[in-house]
C-alpha cells in the first residue's frame, strides 16, 4: 500500500491536521502475496477494505476499498486510497486492511480471508517507507469475543506482539509522491495478473502548483465534499502513470436558483407596476388588465414561497434524483457535480480533464404528459397566431424587442441623468476638460437613448394603445413622408397584424410622437452648442466637441450665451439640462406605456397557459444556468494562466458542449424537449469578471429574462493576471451546443417502433451552431496561433466526420458523442454529460470517456483498458463509479414489479369466481356449465404458465433458463392455447343445438358426449404440440440462456409507433388460421 502526499515537506509527512496538510491529501495502494484460498484450487477474486481507527475515539470507520482483482492469489491492486487534507489523520492513527474473496459481484457476496493493521507513524519511519504485514485469519467467534473484551488499540497491540490467528498471506505497504518514477523503469509490469506479485516503490515530485494559496478560497466557495480516488496504470512502454479522480458537489446548485428567483420576482413586480400605470383603458382592455394582474400576483407569490423554502435548505449541496419531483426544489439542478481527472504520465505533461455531470434540465414536477418546452412553445405560438378578436398578435421577436427596449430605457434614463448632473458639476467648477468629458459621455448615452425609439414597433404599439383608450379621437391625418423616411420604412419589418377588434386608424397622427422624441435630440444639440461656446470664450479648445447635428443653432441660444458673463456657466447650462430631462421624461412615459401594452397582449392570451410556460421555462433555465456557471468558474480557474485561452475568451467566446444521453421514448421525449430549449436559452447569458472586494466570492446574477449577466468574482492576485479587456469589464459570451444520442433499452424501442426525428433535428441544428463557432474562431484568433493550432489539430476533418455521422441515421451512434467531445476539448470548451438523473448512464459514459482519453492521449496499455474501466466503475451493483454509497445507483426493486409479471388479476379473479359459482350451483348438470368450467380452467392455466419463470428471475435472480425448461414452458403455452380453442368450438356447437334444435338439446349433449369432447380436446392438443417438442429435442447442443436485463414494456409512446407493428398483421393472422385449421400441414 502506498500513502501519498503531493508536494509536502518533511513536516507534512507527520500526517497532521488540515493546517499542515496539502490539499491533494495522502493516498494508499495495496499488494497481496501468497494468499490462502478457503477452498483448494479456487481462484480468488480479491479486494481490500480500508478502515481507519481513530486513536482518540477508539472507533473503526470504513473508509474506502480497492478494485476486485480476479483469478490470482498474488493480486496487484491499481486503485489507491486518498486521504484529503481535511481528514483527521495522525502518526498514531491505525489503518486496518481487511481482505475479502468476492464470490458474486452482482449480489455483493464475499467471504473473509484475513486482515492486518499498522500505524501511520510506523509506515513513515520504516526503511524506504515500506511495510510487509502478515494477513491473519480469526474465526468469527474469536473476533466477537475480542470486540467485547478489548478496544481497537488493545487488539492492534495483541496482533502485533503475538502469533494470534492463522497467517493466510502477506500484504505490502509503501509511500510514494505524485510524479515521475525514481528508477525510471517498471520492469515487472505484465499483462498476466498471475505474475504481478509486488508493487513498485517509487518517489515522485509534486505536480504543477499554480497560485494554490490564492485559488483555494476561490475553489472552496464553489466546490464542496470531494470524493477522491487514485489509480496507477501501466503505459504501453512499461511505465507507470498515476490518475487522480475527484468528484465534488457545488454550492452553486442552490445559490444560482436563488439569485434567479430573486431577479424574476423583481422583474415581475416592476412589470405589474407598469401594467397598473398604463392609464385609463376601455372596459374590454381594463378587464383584461385586471385579470392579468391577479394571475401575475399569484405567480409572484409562488416565486416568493419557493425562494423562502430554498433559503431554508441546509445540508447537502446537491439535489438527489429522488427529489426531482419536489415542488420546492424545481429550480435546482439534479446531481450537479464536477468530475475531474488529473493524469500524470512519465513522459507527458500533467493534464486535467473536467466534465460537469448534471441531470437533464427539465420540469419534472410539471410533468411531460403534453410534451416538453419545444413542443409546448410551438403549439402556443401557433394558437396565438390564430387567436380570436380579443387580442392583438405580436410575434415572439416583437415581444422580445419590446422587453429589450424597456430594459434599455430603464438603464439609460438614470445614466443620462447622472451624466447631466456631472456636466453641471463640471460647469460649476469651471473645468473645461472635465466639462468636455462629461459632455462626451452625455452625448453618447443620449444618442443610444434616441436610437432605441427608431423602431416601427414603438409606432405600432403607440397606435394600439391609442385605440385602447376610451373615446380616442384622432387629431389629423399623417403628412406625406419624405423619400428618406420612405426608404427607412422599407428597411423596417412589416407592421404587426391586428385583429378586427382593433380599428385600423389610418389617420393616426404619427407626427406627435416624432416631435416628442426629436425634442430630445434638439435639447442635446442646445447643450452641446452651449458647452462649445463656453469653452470657446474661455480660450479652450477650438474644436467643437460635438457640433450641431443639423448644422443650425438656435438664435435665442446665441443671445443667451452673449448675455451671460464667463462666471455663469452653471446658470447658463442648468435650464438646458432641465429641458433635456423634461423631454426625456415625456419620451420615457409614452414609450413605457406603449411597450407595456405589447407585453399585456402576450399575457392576456391564454393567461394560465402563458404563465405556466413562463414558469416552466424559468425552471429549466435555472437548472441549466447553475451548471453553466459552475463549469465556467472551474474552466476559468483551470486555464487562468493560459494566455491563449484568455484571449479566446474575450475575443471569440467559450464553446459549451452538452452530451445528452436521453432516449426519444415516453417521458424522456419531454425531458429532451425541455433540455433543448433550456440550453438554447443560455445564449442570453454573458459573463463579467470583477475583482472580489471581500471574502464573498460567490457569483452574482443580474439582468432580466432576455439578457443575463453573471458577475464572477476573483481574488485580487488572480484578477490582476487577466488581460486588460477582461479587467475593464468586457462581457464574455458562451455558445452552447447539445448533441444527444439515446443509449438505453428504451432507445432501442424508439428506433425500431417509434420516432427519432427529434434527436436528429437537435443534432443537426447544433452542428450548424458548432460550425459557426469554429468559423468565428478561425477568423478572430491571431494568425500565429491559428497556424500552430492547425498543425496540432485537424478540426476541419473532425467536423466533417461529425456531420457524416449525424446524417448517417445509424442506431445508437455513439461516435457522435466522441467526436463532439473531442472537438470541444480541442476548442478549450466546457463539457457537460447529462441523462435523466446524472447517475447510471452518465457515470458509465464519463468513465468510458476517461479510459479512452488515457488510451488515446496518454498511452494506456491496451491490455489494461478493461481493467482500468472496471477500476473506475463500480465494485458492486449498488455503487457508482466513485465507489461511494452516497452516490449509489438505483437498486432493483423486484417486489415492486411483481404485479407486472404475475397472472393478471382480472383473469384470476374472474375465472375463479365463475368456477366457484358453478361448484356451488344446485343443478350444474347442463353441458353449458361443463364447457364454461373447462374454458375457465384452461384460461387460468394458460395465463399462469409464464409466471413461475418470471417470478424466479425477478424475486430470486434465477436468471438461467435451461433448454429443457424452455421446452416445458413452450409446451404448456401451446397446449393450453390449443385446448382453449377446441373448447370454444365445443361451446359454439352447444349453442347451435340449443338455438336450432331446442327439442333435442337434452338428448344430444349428454354427459358422456361432454366428457368425450373434453378427452378429444386434450388428445388433439397433445397431438398438435408433442410432435413439435420431439423435433426440437434433437437440438441437444443448445446452451443455457441467461438474460441479463429482463424488461417489460407495456405500451408504445405514440400512435405512429403503434401503427408500425400492424404491418405484419396479415402474416400473423395467416399463421393463426393455419395453426388451427390445418395442424397436420405444420409438421
Residues noted as catalytic: 835
Quickly tell me which residue has 510506523 as its cell. Answer: 122
Is residue 606 within 8 A of residue 393, CB to CB? The reply is no
Q: How far apart are CA 306 and CA 257, in angstroms?
A: 10
Q: How far apart are CA 172 and CA 597, in angstroms?
A: 78
Q: How far apart are CA 538 and CA 561, in angstroms?
A: 12
Q: How far apart are CA 170 and CA 31, in angstroms?
A: 8
Q: How far apart are CA 390 and CA 288, in angstroms?
A: 9
Q: Which residues contact 785 (CB under 8 A, 6 or more apart)?
A: 644, 647
* Phi, then psi, of 229 in degrees rounded to 5: -140, 150
Give the strands of the sheet with 830-834, arranged side by side: 26-28, 79-83, 223-234, 240-250, 337-344, 351-357, 830-834, 654-660, 732-740, 685-691, 707-714, 700-704
Q: Is 60 helix (H, G, I), strand (E, B) or coil?
A: strand
DSSP string, 633-652: HHHHHHTTT-HHHHHHHHHT
Q: How far apart are CA 465 and CA 467, in angstroms?
A: 5
Beta strands in 478-633, from DSSP E residues, in sequence order: none
Q: Which is nearest to 342 in space by CA: 185, 232, 215?
A: 232
471: alpha, beta or left? (left if phi > 0; alpha if psi -120 to 50): left
Neighbours of 605 (CB within 10 A): 20
Cα separations (Å) of 710 from 142, 625, 645, 730, 934?
Answer: 62, 10, 19, 12, 75
Count of alpha carbons within 13 angstroms of residue 741, beta-carbon side = 20
In whole angstroms, what separates CA 883 from the centre of its chain?
Answer: 21
Is residue 875 within 8 A of residue 68, CB to CB? The reply is yes
Residues in the chain: 1083
Q: How far apart are CA 460 and CA 152, in angstroms?
A: 83
Q: Which residues contact 749 (CB under 8 A, 6 or more apart)?
A: 665, 1049, 1052
Q: Are strands 732-740 and 654-660 parallel, antiparallel or unpaired?
A: parallel
Cα 32–Cα 36–Cα 38 angle in degrees, nearest 5: 130
Q: How far apart are CA 633 and CA 613, in angstroms?
A: 30
For 443-461, b where at least 16 C-beta lie within 10 A, e where not — what string? bebbeebbebbebbbbbbb
Cell numbers describing residue 446? 443620449
Cα separations (Å) of 589 from 231, 444, 522, 561, 947?
Answer: 66, 21, 18, 32, 75
In whole angstroms, what separates CA 360 from the centre of its chain?
Answer: 4
Is residue 618 within 8 A of residue 644, CB to CB? The reply is no
Neighbours of 1073 (CB within 10 A): 10
Q: How far apart are CA 60 and CA 435, in angstroms?
A: 75
* End-to-end Cα, the chain, rounded Å: 67
Bridge partners, 76 (sequence order): 31
Is residue 866 within 8 A of residue 848, CB to CB? The reply is no
Amino acid at each position: 500500500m502506498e500513502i501519498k502526499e503531493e508536494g509536502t515537506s518533511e513536516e507534512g509527512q507527520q500526517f497532521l491536521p488540515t493546517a499542515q496538510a496539502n490539499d491533494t491529501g495522502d493516498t494508499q495502494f495495496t499488494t497481496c502475496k501468497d494468499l490462502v484460498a478457503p477452498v483448494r484450487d479456487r481462484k480468488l477474486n480479491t479486494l481490500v477494505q480500508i478502515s481507519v481507527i481513530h486513536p482518540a475515539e477508539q472507533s473503526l470507520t470504513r473508509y474506502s476499498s480497492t478494485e476486485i482483482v480476479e483469478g490470482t492469489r498474488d493480486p496487484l491492486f491499481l486503485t489507491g486510497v486518498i486521504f484529503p487534507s481535511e481528514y483527521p489523520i495522525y502518526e498514531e492513527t491505525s489503518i486496518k486492511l481487511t481482505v475479502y474473496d468476492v464470490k458474486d459481484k452482482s449480489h455483493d457476496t464475499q467471504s473473509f480471508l484475513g486482515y492486518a493493521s499498522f500505524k501511520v507513524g510506523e509506515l513513515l519511519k520504516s526503511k524506504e517507507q515500506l511495510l510487509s504485514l502478515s494477513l491473519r485469519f480469526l474465526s468469527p467467534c474469536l473476533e466477537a469475543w475480542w470486540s467485547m473484551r478489548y478496544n481497537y488499540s488493545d487488539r492492534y497491540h495483541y496482533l502485533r506482539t503475538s502469533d494470534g490467528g492463522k497467517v493466510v498471506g502477506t500484504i505490502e505497504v509503501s509511500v510514494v509522491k505524485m510524479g515521475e518514477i525514481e528508477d525510471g523503469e517498471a520492469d515487472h509490469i505484465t499483462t498476466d495478473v498471475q505474475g504481478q506479485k509486488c508493487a513498485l516503490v517509487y518517489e515522485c515530485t509534486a505536480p504543477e502548483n499554480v497560485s494554490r494559496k490564492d485559488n483555494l478560497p476561490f475553489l472552496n466557495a464553489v466546490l464542496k465534499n470531494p470524493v477522491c480516488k487514485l489509480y496507477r496504470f501501466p503505459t504501453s512502454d512499461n511505465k507507470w502513470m498515476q490518475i487522480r479522480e475527484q468528484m465534488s458537489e457545488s454550492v452553486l446548485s442552490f445559490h444560482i436558483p436563488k439569485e434567479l428567483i430573486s431577479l424574476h420576482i423583481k422583474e415581475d413586480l416592476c412589470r405589474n407596476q407598469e401594467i397598473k400605470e398604463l392609464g385609463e383603458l376601455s372596459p374590454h382592455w381594463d378587464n383584461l388588465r385586471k385579470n392579468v394582474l391577479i394571475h401575475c400576483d399569484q405567480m409572484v407569490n409562488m416565486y416568493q414561497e419557493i425562494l423562502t423554502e430554498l433559503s431554508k435548505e441546509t445540508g447537502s449541496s446537491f439535489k438527489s434524483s429522488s427529489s426531482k419531483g419536489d415542488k420546492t426544489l424545481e429550480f435546482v439542478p439534479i446531481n450537479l457535480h464536477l468530475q475531474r481527472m488529473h493524469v500524470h504520465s512519465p513522459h507527458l505533461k500533467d493534464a486535467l480533464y473536467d466534465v460537469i455531470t448534471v441531470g437533464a434540465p427539465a420540469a419534472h414536477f410539471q410533468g411531460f404528459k403534453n410534451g416538453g418546452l419545444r413542443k409546448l412553445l410551438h403549439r402556443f405560438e401557433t394558437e396565438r397566431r390564430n387567436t380570436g378578436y380579443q387580442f392583438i398578435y405580436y410575434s415572439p421577436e416583437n415581444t422580445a424587442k419590446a422587453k429589450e427596449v424597456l430594459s434599455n430605457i430603464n438603464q439609460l434614463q438614470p445614466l443620462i441623468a447622472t451624466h447631466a448632473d456631472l456636466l453641471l458639476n463640471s460647469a460649476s467648477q469651471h473645468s473645461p476638460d472635465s466639462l468636455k468629458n462629461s459632455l462626451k459621455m452625455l452625448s453618447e448615452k443620449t444618442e443610444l437613448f434616441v436610437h432605441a425609439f427608431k423602431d416601427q414597433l414603438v409606432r405600432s404599439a403607440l397606435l394600439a394603445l391609442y385605440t385602447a383608450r376610451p373615446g380616442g379621437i384622432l387629431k389629423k391625418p399623417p403628412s406625406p413622408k419624405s423619400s428618406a423616411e420612405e426608404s427607412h420604412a422599407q428597411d423596417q419589418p412589416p407592421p404587426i397584424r391586428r385583429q378586427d377588434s382593433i380599428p385600423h386608424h389610418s389617420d393616426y397622427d404619427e407626427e406627435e410622437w416624432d416631435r416628442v422624441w426629436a425634442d430630445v435630440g434638439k435639447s442635446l444639440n442646445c447643450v452641446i452648442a452651449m458647452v462649445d461656446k463656453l469653452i470657446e470664450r474661455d480660450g479652450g479648445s477650438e474644436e467643437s466637441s460635438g457640433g450641431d447635428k443639423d448644422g443650425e443653432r438656435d438664435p435665442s441660444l446665441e443671445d443667451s450665451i452673449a448675455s451671460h458673463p464667463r462666471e455663469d456657466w452653471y446658470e447658463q447650462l442648468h435650464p438646458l439640462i432641465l429641458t433635456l430631462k423634461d423631454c426625456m421624461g415625456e419620451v420615457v412615459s409614452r414609450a413605457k406605456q406603449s411597450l407595456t401594452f405589447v407585453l399585456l397582449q402576450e399575457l392576456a392570451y391564454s393567461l394560465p397557459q402563458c404563465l405556466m410556460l413562463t414558469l416552466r421555462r424559468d425552471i429549466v433555465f435555472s437548472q441549466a444556468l447553475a451548471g453553466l456557471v459552475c463549469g465556467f468558474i472551474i474552466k476559468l480557474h483551470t486555464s487562468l494562466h493560459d494566455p491563449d485561452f484568455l484571449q479566446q475568451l474575450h475575443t471569440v467566446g467559450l464553446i459549451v458542449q452538452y452530451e445528452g444521453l436521453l432516449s426519444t421514448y415516453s417521458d424522456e421525449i419531454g425531458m429532451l424537449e425541455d433540455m433543448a430549449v433550456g440550453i438554447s436559452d443560455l445564449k442570453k447569458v454573458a459573463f463579467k469578471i470583477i475583482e472580489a472586494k471581500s471574502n464573498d466570492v460567490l457569483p452574482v446574477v443580474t439582468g432580466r429574462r432576455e439578457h443575463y449577466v453573471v458577475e464572477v468574482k476573483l481574488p485580487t492576485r488572480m484578477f490582476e493576471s487577466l488581460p486588460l479587456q477582461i479587467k475593464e469589464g468586457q462581457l464574455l459570451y458562451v455558445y452552447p451546443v447539445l448533441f444527444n444520442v439515446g443509449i438505453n433499452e428504451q432507445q432501442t424501442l424508439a428506433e425500431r417502433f417509434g420516432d427519432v426525428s427529434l434527436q436528429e433535428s437537435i443534432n443537426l441544428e447544433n452542428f450548424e451552431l458548432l460550425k459557426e463557432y469554429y468559423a468565428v474562431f478561425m477568423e478572430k484568433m491571431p494568425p500565429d496561433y491559428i497556424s500552430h493550432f492547425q498543425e496540432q489539430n485537424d478540426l476541419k476533418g473532425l467536423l466533417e466526420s461529425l456531420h457524416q455521422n449525424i446524417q448517417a441515421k445509424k442506431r445508437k451512434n455513439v461516435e457522435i458523442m466522441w467526436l463532439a467531445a473531442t472537438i470541444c476539448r480541442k476548442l478549450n470548451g466546457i463539457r457537460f454529460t447529462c441523462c435523466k438523473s446524472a447517475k447510471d448512464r452518465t457515470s458509465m459514459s464519463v468513465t468510458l470517456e476517461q479510459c479512452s482519453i488515457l488510451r488515446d492521449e496518454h498511452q494506456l496499455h491496451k491490455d489494461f483498458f478493461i481493467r482500468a474501466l472496471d477500476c473506475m466503475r463500480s465494485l458492486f451493483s449498488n455503487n457508482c463509479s466513485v465507489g461511494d454509497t452516497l452516490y449509489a445507483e438505483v437498486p432493483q426493486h423486484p417486489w415492486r414489479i411483481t404485479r407486472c409479471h404475475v397472472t393478471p388479476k382480472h383473469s384470476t379473479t374472474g375465472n375463479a369466481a365463475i368456477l366457484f359459482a358453478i361448484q356451488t350451483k344446485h343443478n350444474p348438470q347442463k353441458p353449458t356449465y361443463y364447457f364454461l368450467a373447462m374454458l375457465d380452467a384452461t384460461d387460468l392455466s394458460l395465463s399462469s404458465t409464464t409466471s413461475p419463470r418470471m417470478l424466479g428471475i425477478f424475486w430470486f435472480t434465477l436468471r438461467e433458463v435451461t433448454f429443457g425448461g424452455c421446452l416445458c414452458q413452450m409446451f404448456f403455452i401451446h397446449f393450453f392455447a390449443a385446448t382453449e380453442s377446441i373448447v370454444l368450438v365445443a361451446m359454439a356447437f352447444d349453442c347451435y343445438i340449443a338455438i336450432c334444435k331446442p327439442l333435442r338439446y337434452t338428448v344430444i349433449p349428454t354427459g358422456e358426449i361432454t366428457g368425450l369432447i373434453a378427452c378429444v380436446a386434450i388428445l388433439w392438443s397433445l397431438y398438435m404440440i408433442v410432435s413439435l417438442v420431439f423435433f426440437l429435442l434433437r437440438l441437444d447442443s443448445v446452451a443455457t440462456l441467461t438474460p441479463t436485463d429482463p424488461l417489460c414494456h407495456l405500451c408504445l409512446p405514440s400512435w405512429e409507433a403503434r401503427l408500425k407493428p400492424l404491418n405484419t398483421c396479415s402474416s400473423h393472422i395467416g399463421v393463426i388460421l393455419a395453426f388451427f385449421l390445418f395442424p397436420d400441414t405444420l409438421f
